[in-house]
Amino acid sequence: MGRLAGKVAVVFGGARGIGLATVKEFLAEGATVYAADIREPAEEIGGYRHSTVDATDEAAVAAFVDGVLAEAGRVDVLFNNVGVHLAKPLADTTVAEFDHIFALNVRAAFLGTRAVLPHMIEQRAGSIITTSSNGGVMGRPGDPVYNATKHALVGLMKSVAVAHAHQGVRANTVNPGAIDTELLRGTLASPDDFETKQHQLVASTPAARVGEAWEVAKAVVFLASDESKFINGVVLPIDGAKAAGAMPGNRYSLDFDLGVGVVP
């Protein structure tokens, strides 16, 4: 029997990257999965329901969750995984860009959480997991407004945890670092740059490699499962120790040997 057998899971942002990897892991662990995204899935994997939903649209999110409840009768797990990146200095960021990234990265998680929360409180059980970033636990000079959204998600989930733990609701964040996804590759000038710029991507990562989407998805499964029933309000970096602290000065180098510590 799978670790999520009998559970109904909702995934917002399930069409690509970490979201799609998590859909696969949820299915493998026996969950009934309903995924939503503004895009179609990158792969045809079957076995779950995918809907086209704008996660920033209040009515659309409410209607989607209501539809899941009408069909499945419950929601046990919510994975908020909607987000975009913005690599701009603060002084160069427009108000429109600020509003856009907060709408996608924070409003979407707020709407998804608000939609499932009354039901989870009523059934006195539920796990909400939200994708933040290691930028949600530390400052980074290149993307301050993006980091502000990721800090906001940490605060939102911690507050939900404190407010509703006594009602059986859990709320945690996963905080990835550099993960090989379409989102990461989209920050580069071209797809080919991923191979040529790996040194730059991992120069500040103690593990000396980029992570994989399935590695984040496995952590989400754990937080969704009953194995983590007493874990609530946790911020979980999945970043090869980058958020843990500073490395020796000679490690912050673009000529660092990637062969050291790399997992095949």
Tell me the pLDDT band of 193, cut-offs 50, 70 and 90.
low
Q: Which two tokens stand for residue 87?
A: 């690599």
Cα dist from 236 to 133, 137, 154, whole Å: 9, 10, 10
Tell me the pLDDT tens digit for each residue of 129-181: 999 999 999 998 889 999 999 999 999 999 999 999 999 999 999 999 988 87
Q: Measuring CA to CA, which residue among 263, 257, 218 is closest to residue 240?
A: 263
Cα dist from 250 to 144, 202, 255, whole Å: 26, 13, 10
pLDDT of 55: 98
Residue 234 CB coordination number (10 Å): 17
Q: Which two tokens stand for residue 67?
A: 């539809």
Radius of gyration of the chain (CA): 18
Q: Which residues participate in catalysis according to the annotation?
A: 146
Tell me the pLDDT band of 105, cut-offs 50, 70 and 90.
very high
pLDDT of 250: 79
* Beta pairing partners, 128: 78, 171
Report the run of H or E that residue 15 belongs to, with start and end: none
Tell me the pLDDT tens digit for each residue of 236-261: 999 999 999 988 887 777 665 555 43
Tell me the pLDDT band of 201, cut-offs 50, 70 and 90.
confident
E strand intervals along the chain:
8-12, 32-37, 49-52, 77-80, 126-131, 169-176, 235-238
Euclidean distance between the first and the last CA atom of the chain, given in angstroms as a whole number: 30
Tell me the pLDDT tens digit for each residue of 22-55: 999 999 999 999 999 999 999 989 999 999 999 9
CA 261 to chain centre: 25
pLDDT of 94: 98
The C-alpha atoms of residue 220 and residue 224 are separated, in whole angstroms, by 6
Tell whether the model's pLDDT for residue 214 goes beyond 50.
Answer: yes
Share of the chain above pLDDT 90, in %: 77
Report the run of H or E that residue 85 belongs to, with start and end: none
Contacts of 21 (CB under 8 A, 6+ apart): 213, 214, 216, 217
